[in-house]
Amino acid sequence: MSEHNPFGTMHATTIITVRKDGKVVMAGDGQVSLGQTVMKGNARKVRRIGKGNVIAGFAGATADAFTLLERLERKLEQYPDQLMRACVELAKDWRTDKYLRNLEAMMLVADKDITLAVTGNGDVLEPEHGVMAIGSGGNYALSAALALMDSDKPADDVAHRAMEIASQICVYTNGNIIVETLDAA
């Protein structure tokens, strides 16, 4: 991931979040690739963190992502029920800390109130239309989900179908899809 393009192609995974009709859903595939080789097909890249009231998904280097998840959990302990503040503080640390600056990962996080993408460039971004995606198949999943948002499909169906479509196009995304759901405000 280059500093000039934080949403550049990461040969890592696909993570999508959909906020619709009182639900927030995050879905991710299970493929871990090393170059052109699939190393693992059933990794869990979407999980609940904090007290279980935040969903997080990551794309990028696995060890880097776990480091960031741990740091975010500490920020959530410091700023309970303030996901935006915790993410802004994490992004500040990520941008300024010499060690963290070298981490190659991105995260999507959501609670009942807000959905955010957090990057190493210091970005903390909210989706414009209730949908956001990251990773190598992120643009495919995003496009599919946006097309489905006007349908009568619930949020979990939109996210799952978008992931299925991405897995058919992106060689770094598989069909082993993990979905986490929260009730939204």
Contact, 69 vs 61, CB < 8 A?
no
Record the tokens describing residue 51, joined without a space: 């007290």
Examine the residue annotation and report whether 67 is marked as an active-site residue of this protein.
no
Q: Which of 13, 14, 119, 173 is catalytic?
A: 13
Within 10 angstroms of residue 141's Cβ, the number of other Cβ atoms is 33
Q: How far apart are CA 148 and CA 151, in angstroms?
A: 5
For residue 58, the cross-strand partners are 107
Record the tokens describing residue 151, joined without a space: 């349908």
Q: How is 10-78 classified by DSSP, letter by letter?
A: -TT-EEEEEEETTEEEEEE---EEETTEEEES----EEEETTTTEEEEEEE-HHHHHHHHHHHHHHHHH
Backbone angles phi, psi at 68, to 5 degrees: -70, -40
Q: How is 107-130 classified by DSSP, letter by letter?
A: EEEE-SS-EEEE-TTS-EE--SSS
Instruction: Kindly list the catalytic residues.
Output: 13
